[in-house]
Amino acid sequence: RTITNHMPTAELQALDAAHHMHPFTTNAQLGKKGARIITRAKGVFLTDSDGHEIIDGMAGLWCVNVGYGRDSMAEAAARQIRELPYYNTFFQTSHVPAIALAARIAELAPGDLNHVFFASSGSEANETNIRLVRHYWALKGQPERSVIISRMNGYHGSGMGSASLGGMVSMHEQGNLPIPGIVHIGQPHWYAEGGDMTPEEFGLKRARELEEKILEIGADRVGAFIAEPVQGAGGVIIAPDSYWPEIQRIVDKYGILLIADEVITGFGRTGNWFGSQTLNIMPHIMTIAKGLSSGYAPIGGSVVCDEVAAVIGSDEFNHGYTYSGHPVAAAIALENLRIMEEEGVVEHVRDVAHPHLAERWHALGDHPLVGETKLIGMMGSLALTPEKGSRARFAADAGTAGYITRERCFANNVIMRHVYDRMIISPPLVMTTDEIDILIDRATLALDEAY
Ligand code: PLP
């Protein structure tokens, strides 16, 4: 039996619930309502199996930066499949798509981040980073420098190592995480945790937790600190301005490697090619994925500075994935970066979309259900509050308010995500000002209905 887009939604949902195991979903959720089934997409709009046209405020999962339905991406994929659908990059072999993509990323990346170790996802790239950092210090004659510090509520992926780097308690509770040698410090989330401090005082306090942790563990045992320039899945938490300069001072002082996880913030999201540029951070390693290919193919990687790459390359790094530098994924990523350059997508974020989105997004701060609005480039969040004018959170179950609001978004044909009591947007970067108006108008309706 052939299962197609033309089948009734209920039948597709029943088959989906019977056979398809979904990430971050319970059987009960699927049994009760069924998944919303997306059948096609063009530009910034999705179409579901009932024919609704939905504006995508999340770019899929923060990844479809150039929007959906790009013919030239399909052509790049087809060309590459015909020419060389697969070859590996192990044991002294290479191919043109991997070479060209690594060289292009090196051009775009800041400083001397000139070397790329490819993976198929952000999770895989962060698994690479853990082994790479530990092997680097071992090669430098300091194998005891194996501890990696990360942050509560950070998200770095779903592998054993990458979920350990992440600071999601609900993930640590499953599968005996974190793995040894990974420790967490607090997040710079002033709205939820800043108490009576000013944001700047709180930013400094949270940054100095890194120094305290280094001294507690012993500076000669710490190999790296990893963080997202802006915490994404944790709720689009933008650190106070005092935070990153202090973090940079501390990693420089103790000579530990700084890993910027740019899986969301990379490729234009914050109005520069990388979030590190927007926030003036200089990492030794960047994790990339998602926007690298605008989600058209699974590809990610670790972008590594000259010194670390030279040390790692001085020995055989016993690490690699069958699909490291996959030629079709690399060809798609190259076409994506070509589109971004040709159309000036990063400039569009900075000069067109962001100012307009910021105006409309921050105006939602007047809504009686909204406690604060935050936005950097084209990623934003708002906090839902039961008590306007305070930083109060919903007492019973913070997630319920977000869940209800997300449902109302769905009903109004706009995709927004919720993290506990924060509502999030991360739309395709090519969204026009008219489309931003549609997004915010529908979001406003959803908030009105949830209130
Ligand atoms: N790092 C960050 C900052 C992410 O947001 C994500 C995914 O959301 C990952 C890593 C994991 O990437 P993937 O889902 O491609 O494995």
Do 339 and 417 lie in a common domain? no
Q: Provide the residue range defining the domain that includes 360.
A: 36-69+344-450
pLDDT over 70 for what percent of the chain?
99
The pLDDT assigned to 31 comes to 82
Average pLDDT, stretch 183-187? 98
Are β-strands 422-425 and 379-384 bridged in parallel, bridged antiparallel, or unpaired? antiparallel
Q: How much distance in Å is there from the Cα of 289 to the middle of ligand 1?
A: 7
pLDDT over 90 for what percent of the chain?
94
The whole-angstrom separation of Cα 160 and Cα 163 is 6
The pLDDT assigned to 33 comes to 84
User: pLDDT tens digits, residue range 15-34?
Assistant: 999 999 999 999 988 888 89
150 pocket-lining for ligand 1 (C-beta < 6 Å): no
Buried b (16+ CB within 10 A) or exposed e, 73-84: beebbeebeeee
Q: How much distance in Å is there from the Cα of 297 to the middle of ligand 1?
A: 14
Within a domain: residue 42? yes
- Domain of 416: which CATH number? 3.90.1150.10
In this structure, what token pair is assigned to residue 113?
């981040």
The pLDDT assigned to 218 comes to 98
Number of domains within the chain: 2
Domain termination site, one of 327, 343, 359: 343
* Confidence check: pLDDT of 124 > 70: yes
Average pLDDT, stretch 397-404? 79
The whole-angstrom separation of Cα 274 and Cα 271 is 8
Do 383 and 314 lie in a common domain? no
262 pocket-lining for ligand 1 (C-beta < 6 Å): no
- Domain of 182: which CATH number? 3.40.640.10
User: pTM for this one?
Assistant: 0.98
ipTM of the assembly?
A: 0.99
**What are the angstrom distances between the C-alpha of 220 and each of 136, 137, 209, 223, 425?**
14, 10, 17, 8, 40
The pLDDT assigned to 401 comes to 85
The whole-angstrom separation of Cα 257 and Cα 226 is 8
Within a domain: residue 239? yes
54 pocket-lining for ligand 1 (C-beta < 6 Å): no
**DSSP-derived 3-state class of residue 440:** helix
272 pocket-lining for ligand 1 (C-beta < 6 Å): no
